[in-house]
Each structure stands twice: as C-alpha cells, then as structure tokens.
Amino acid sequence: MSTTIETLEAMERPPVSMGSRLEGELLEVSMGPQHPSTHGVFRMNVALEGEIVRELKPVFGYLHRNHEKIGESASYLGSMPYTDRLDYFCSMTNNWAYALSVEKLAGIEVPERAEYLRIILAELTRLQNHVSLLGFLLNDMGAWGTPLMYAFREREKILDLFESLSGSRMMCDYMRFGGCRVDASPEWLARARKTVDVFPRFVDELEQLIVGNEVVIARTQNVGKVSAELAISAGITGPMLRACGVNYDVRKVDGYGFYPRFKFRIPLGEHGDTYDRLMMRVLEMRESVGILKQAFEQVPAGPIINPKVKIRAFRPPIGEAYGRIEAPKGELGFYLISDGGPNPYRYRVRPPSFINLTILEDMCLGHTVADVMVILGSIDIVMGEVDR
Amino acid sequence: MIGAGILKGMAVTARNFVGSYFDEERLITVQYPEERNPLPENYRNFPFLVYDGGDPHAGLRCVACKICEKECPPQCIYIVKSEDKKPDYIGKPQFYPKVFDIDISVCMSCQICVEVCPFEAIKMDKDFELSRRERFDALLMRKDELAKSNDYYHRISPTDAAEVDAKLAAAAEAAAKKKAATPAAEKPATAAAQSKS
C-alpha cells in the first residue's frame, strides 16, 4: 500500500484551466468564515461550475491564538489549562495527551487508580464527542435542530459528570503530571456507571433515526470517498482513517495507559465515504460503552497522584518526548523538548482535526456545494484545534 | 420500501416527544432564572481571597508572597506587597497585599493559583452571574471585592473548607506547641480559635 507523490499527482482531477475562469464558466465563492456549517471560523474558497465543486482552497487561521508559542513561555503546568482550549469538546483527552508527554519527558509513574480514571474520562469524552458530532452532521444535512437536541441532551449528562468531578463542564483542567487533580468519589462512580448503562438506549435510538433513513443514505453514501492510500499518505488518523478500512488505532498500536488490559474491538469501514465515517462513530460509541463497563468493574482504590511530582518549580530533565493518544478525532500528540528549564524549549501539538482537514479538497471535488457541508461535517473538526 | 427509514425516524421523534412528559431522562432542562439545578461541590468559577474572623483587612490570609501572580498562566493577578506587617492566624507577623487585583475578563478559572498557594488564602468561587454594565473597570476585581469570609467559603464548599480549617488548626497548634517551649505563648491560642470560625 505504498503511495508516492507521483501516484497522488496521477490521480484523476478535473482540469481547471485559466480559460474557463476568464470566460466566466467558473464561479468563485468564498464560503465562510462566518458560515453555520463550518463549526467555527473556517473559510473555503470554492470554484464552482454550476453546482459542482472544481476547486477548493481551505483558509485557516481565523482562530489562531499562538498556542504553541505561549506553551514555550508558560511553565509546564501553566500549559495544562491551555490544552483544554485546543479541542474544546474533548478537554479530558487533550489533558491526557499533554500529561502523557510530560510524564514521558520526566519519567513519571502514574498510580493505578489515576490510570483507570483517565481511561474512564477519555471514553466518556469519546462518547460525548461522537454524540455531538452526529448531531451536528445531521444538522448540516438539513435535519435542523431535533437530532442535535437529542444529542446534546445525552452530551449534557456526561458534561454534568465532568462538572461534578473537575468543576467545569468543558474546560476541565483535570489531569496533572503523575495523576489526576481530584479523586472520584464512590457516588460519582455510581452516577457515571448509571449514565453509561442507559447510554446504549440512546445509541439505539440514534441508529434508528439515521441508519435506514433514505435521506441520510442519499446524502452520505458515495459522498466524499477517500481511498486508503490517500488517507495513509496524508497522515489521516482516527475514525476517518478506519472508515477507509485501515486498522490503526493508537489505543491498540501504542497501548498507552492501561488500554492493553481492556477487551475492545476496533470498528472498520469499507468504502471510506461519509456514511462509513458516520457509522464508525456509532460503532465506536458502543465499544466505548464496553470499555467503560470494564473500567468501572476494575477501578482499584488507592492514591490518584504521584506525590513525588512537584507542583511548583517543575523542571524535567533535558530531553525530548512525544506522547500520543487516540483522541476522539484521531491521533493527538504533544512533542516537547526540554532544556532543563521551567518551561519547554519547544512545544508542538499534532492536532488530528488539522491534519484530517488537509484532504478536504480531494474529498469534495466533483460533488455539489451542499455535499461540501456534509463532508466537512463528517471530518469532525474543531477550529480551536485546527488553528491553535 | 422507500420511506420506511423515515417513518422509523419519525417514531423515534414521537417517542421522544411523548416521553419528555413522563421520562425524567428525556427532559433534563430547567427554566433557568426561576428554577436552578444545584451546583456540584467541585464547581469552580473565579478565585476569591479568604479572610478569617470579621475584618477583611485584619483576617486576610494572603501574605503577598506573589507565587500565584507568578504561576498564573494568563497573568491576570496583580499584587503589591505592603511595607509594614500584620499578625497572621498563628500570630506571626506577615506582609499583606496592599493591592490585590484579579482581572476576571482575563482569568480562565484554571485553579492553578489555588493549587500553588501555600497559605490556603485563595479559593475558587461559585458565583457565576457576573454580568456588568461597564467593559473595563467593572471586571477588574479589587482586593475589597475579592475578600470573602471563611463563613462564605464554608457555605459554598463545606467539605474543602472543613479540610482547610483542620489543616490550619493543626498548623496553629504545632506553632503554639513550639512557642510554648519558649516563653510568651498567649497570642496563638486566640488566633487559632479565630481561624475555626
């Protein structure tokens, strides 16, 4: 499955000549940055022939706020609350990825209970991210409001859990180097277990709502197809890659945390179209529910944070580390270089939604403008992470 | 049959609509200003300063060590240290903040100031209805707005406050014992009693 640049270039593309542009056959439209379906401030310069997309240039940077540079001047701990703001739907997984890379950098052990809590929170994050994605996707397809409200209702229950544990619904700032900040009480665990137990009922309903629906099928099947070769060569990760049938999940490949102790399957797609990407989320939610149930069974008592880690004046040894996790949107990694000082020398984020967005043009060519919305929605982007 | 999927979806919608009258799981919203969901105990909003006893100036736990100012990621805290000293809860003379400002339009409620404070002086508030009519000064909280009593802290987060009080009382006791070894140990006992209020 090796793909070189030549094969990519040889892939079929409709010719766009300067002539057709000058003669007015192509219409250039600037979609966004203020567009309800771009999930934030994202612009696409689209060249249209009738309704068909012939060219698409994404324009990023409207939400750029210097995250990486701030990370170089803030202390190691000081960057933790900023990571919440990357992908503001999944602050728990962002925290985990950052904590993981600092732990790698400084060689910090994490207590067992903290690892279990992290897995519980990461899987809850996956549930609420996928739920809201499906709601938004249906919204983009024209099912205004109703499915999104159902999705948000379920998401709210999970956010309530986050709030009662960490103090904030979305900006959790929960993980610390070597553990977690607050211990989960038995009542919290019981509540979380109850929420997870009734969650599959909602997944069933959502599936009924979308799976057989003729409109959804017409709008999504064979729309925005990605081949496995293209996805691999462009560095796509997460549900989008697995929808093309590539079995790659960092939870299995890297086995970070205690994931090797859990039994779960990786759902795989076949066609790499929008419908597969949609179904990938439904199936992943079911797997996450399974992981959560195992985690609630196994979670041990004990400390939640490594007492050796200093809160103030934390200085990891000289070196570099790349920690990565399977965030709901794909592989989220933090690359840190330490020069022994209180703040990192280099702080780099590998955001999944930014890299998944890079093949937007390949997915959209030849489809209509209305399909662009659906394709963009199925990539699952959050502009806070794309622009950083 | 074409349309079967849509009918199935309609059935889900109908189930949700009817269910929202009977099933608490399906109707979780409240009519906000009149009805309120109770806040969880861990809920956090912007920070405030704790003082013991009745006088916000005399009882302020903050000793202007400026650690929070240094550690605050968005740098929203501004402190000016006093020149003179006043006794703290164990009677030890300490500096106090002459100026203590938090710009809550910059603050991101990350709780790092609370974690790094060695004196249990700054804690997270639960007051979230903070709309103001002015854009600038109204969102810059001064020392007298930030200072809130230990009673208030007990009211908003009883478990944490009780833990903090126990910790401070133990510290005061240890200090008193240490002082009892040397002469002149009247003051600490009263101060320790005060901190329990």
Q: What is the pLDDT along chain A (388 residues), one digit of tens a residue?
A: 444 555 555 555 555 666 666 666 788 888 878 777 777 788 888 888 888 888 888 888 888 888 888 888 888 888 888 988 888 888 889 999 999 999 888 888 888 888 899 999 999 999 999 998 888 888 888 778 788 888 888 888 899 899 888 888 888 888 888 888 888 888 899 999 998 988 888 888 888 888 878 888 888 888 888 888 888 998 899 898 888 888 888 888 888 888 888 888 889 888 888 888 888 889 999 999 999 999 888 888 888 888 888 777 788 889 899 988 988 988 999 999 988 888 889 899 998 988 888 888 888 888 888 888 888 888 888 888 888 8
Q: Is B3 on the interface with A (CB under 8 A)?
A: yes
Q: Is B25 on the interface with A (CB under 8 A)?
A: yes
Q: What is the ipTM of this complex?
A: 0.79
Cβ contact (<8 Å) for A198 and B25?
yes
Q: Which residue on chain A is closest to B38 by alpha carbon?
A: A164
- Given pLDDT bands bounded at 50, 70 and 90, which one contains residue B24? confident
In chain A, residues with a C-beta closer than 8 Å to the C-beta of B124 are 167
| Cα distances (angstroms) measured from residue A126 to each of A130, A184, A266, A330 | 6, 19, 14, 11
Cβ contact (<8 Å) for A163 and B40?
yes
Q: What is the pTM of this model?
A: 0.85
Q: Quote the pLDDT of residue A66.
A: 87
Q: A223: distance to nearest CA of chain B, Å? A: 20
Q: Which residue on chain B is closest to A212 by alpha carbon?
A: B5
Cβ contact (<8 Å) for A208 and B9?
yes
Q: Which residue on chain A is closest to B7 by alpha carbon?
A: A213
Q: Which residues of B41-68 are buried (b: 16+ CB within 10 A; e: fewer)?
A: ebbbbbbbbbbbbeeeeebbbbbbbbbb
Partner residues linked to B123 by β-bridges: B48
CA B86 to chain CA mean position, Å: 23
Q: Is B75 on the interface with A (CB under 8 A)?
A: no
Which phi and psi (to 5°) does residue A219 adopt? -85, -20
Q: Is B1 on the interface with A (CB under 8 A)?
A: no
8 A C-beta contact, residue A179 and residue A117: no
Q: Quote the pLDDT of residue B185.
A: 46
In chain A, residues with a C-beta closer than 8 Å to the C-beta of B111 are 167, 173, 181
Residue in B60, B189, B35 with CA at minimum distance from that of residue B123: B60
Peptide linkage before A14 cis (omega within 30 of 0): no
Q: Is A328 helix (H, G, I), strand (E, B) or coil?
A: coil
Q: Quote the pLDDT of residue A289.
A: 92
8 A C-beta contact, residue A351 and residue A386: yes
Task: Determine the residue among A80, A121, A159, A312 to mutate to test chain B binding: the one whose Cβ has the most chain B Cβ atoms within 10 Å.
Answer: A312
